[in-house]
Amino acid sequence: MAYFRLYLFLFCLKLVESKILCELGFCEKHIREHGCPEPPIHCAVNNATHSGLWLPSPTLCNCCPYCLTFIEEGDHCSAGGPGTGANVGRCGDGLTCVRDDTDGHSYCRRMTSDCHTAQDNFDARLRSGQVGALEHRPHCDGKGKFASFYCIPAHTCFCQSEEGERIFGEVLNLGSSTERNMHCGCSRLSWKIKKSIQTGVRLPVLTPRCTADGNFHPIQCIGNICYCVDTVTGIIEEGDGKEIDLDEEPVTELECYNPRLDFFPEFSRGEPPYQYTTPCLKDVTEKIDMFLQSIEDGFIVDYFNSFPECKPDGTYGTVLENSDGMKICADQRGVQIKDYEAKPDTPEYEAMNCNCAQTSLVMADALEKPVCCKNGNFRRIQCRRGMCRCVDTDGRQVGTDSSDVTRLPCFTANWRDC
């Protein structure tokens, strides 16, 4: 305990000390007197061979600029550890430091990952001329994982998980401007929460609310308090009109309230206490309350699997069941998209994912929309400007194009009818 106090004391002393030391104007004086070492040019250049990351300098009061250089593939690196000296750089994005047993030194090598393997497969197919016109090389991030979204040329971009699975969030592909604004932070967070927590607990875990593009909804509530957040990072913003208590005010009072994003305004109107919910979320919270009440009353209940699953935007999702037992494709408000539907006990019903219906809704104003099956799934063969190709369930091209549908590997006699 005495030690602990001493530590605490020293720690406080240090804090106070450093606060005084690093006061305004200190760096100016320090640099004038001691100068700064010239940082390597890598961070300022950032081209294919010279790149790096600006970091706070590990020197007094972080005064000097500091550039951590990225080591290129095949060059020497150090994995760190006792006796290996100070690191002056790290392997560049997608690379990792690997010890070579033949000479005992370490080198930066490409990481082994599913995304890199997918890139290698693509490259191999490209060399043998088997890549389709609307296919592209998978994008991987600096850790070798799949990039946060996938774009289909002249179509849409949709969010994907680090493992490359398609997840919630889709927007019209308008080229590089779309790619700059597509972050999928909310969609990926919800996915991670579902994957890592949901499977082990009895009650559904509520995830942050996302918008249709996979970003954070500008309004997020914790209990009865609602905040405006940054739509890219999800971080709570501070300031006037950025926080309300539902017991007193509706969300419409928030500065970031956007009627275009409020699909169920009936929930946010009326008398206090106000709500901020959707039919699906309301359904889930009511069932949770019922569940907890039954436990309190001493009943043994198993509601496992009987909770509706809400999508990250808080809706029931695109595939809905109507009162006749048919499945339909629906938009965010729950309204049927065109006449996409499937009767129970049919293969169309079982396989229904409404991905094509959803994509054509996103592409509503586009001239060349994909062709959907009656159940809203992508037709296996899509044609555009005289050329046809096979696509997967998400609309991604698989294999080469042909002007003759019978030569496509996915061709079947009834290809027009799905």
Ligand X SMILES: *[C@@H]1O[C@H](CO)[C@@H](O)[C@H](O)[C@H]1NC(C)=O
The footprint of ligand X (CB under 6 A) covers 45, 47-50
* Whole-angstrom Cα Rg for the chain: 27
d(C-alpha 67, C-alpha 165), whole Å: 35
Q: How far is the CB of 48 from ligand X (least distance, A)?
A: 4
Q: How many CB atoms lie within 10 A of CB 356?
A: 27
d(C-alpha 418, C-alpha 415), whole Å: 5
How long a stretch of residues is the chain? 418
d(C-alpha 316, C-alpha 310), whole Å: 5
Contact in structure between 188 and 161 (CB atoms under 8 Å)? yes
Q: Would you give the DSSP letter of residue 105?
A: -
Q: How far is the CB of 42 from ligand X (least distance, A)?
A: 9
Of 44 and 326, the one with the shorter C-beta distance to ligand X is: 44
Q: Would you give the DSSP letter of residue 67?
A: E
Of 48 and 86, the one with the shorter C-beta distance to ligand X is: 48
3-state SS class at 13: helix
Of 41 and 174, the one with the shorter C-beta distance to ligand X is: 41
Q: How far is the CB of 52 from ligand X (least distance, A)?
A: 12
Cβ neighbours of residue 353 closer than 8 Å, sequence gap 6 or more: 318, 319, 376, 377, 393
Q: How far is the CB of 55 from ligand X (least distance, A)?
A: 20
Q: How far is the CB of 36 from ligand X (least distance, A)?
A: 21
Nearest to 54 by CA among 63, 44, 219: 44
Of 48 and 335, the one with the shorter C-beta distance to ligand X is: 48
Q: How far is the CB of 58 from ligand X (least distance, A)?
A: 25
d(C-alpha 192, C-alpha 209), whole Å: 14
Q: Between vectors from CA 13 to CA 11 and to CA 17, what angle results, nearest 5°? A: 120
Q: How far is the CB of 40 from ligand X (least distance, A)?
A: 11
Of 45 and 292, the one with the shorter C-beta distance to ligand X is: 45
Of 45 and 174, the one with the shorter C-beta distance to ligand X is: 45
Of 15 and 44, the one with the shorter C-beta distance to ligand X is: 44
Closest-CB residue for ligand X?
A: 47
Of 47 and 176, the one with the shorter C-beta distance to ligand X is: 47
Which CA distances in Å does 219 have to 16, 210, 236, 248, 265?
A: 38, 9, 9, 16, 14
d(C-alpha 89, C-alpha 71), whole Å: 6
Q: How far is the CB of 252 from ligand X (least distance, A)?
A: 53
> Which residue has tokens 């194009």?
401
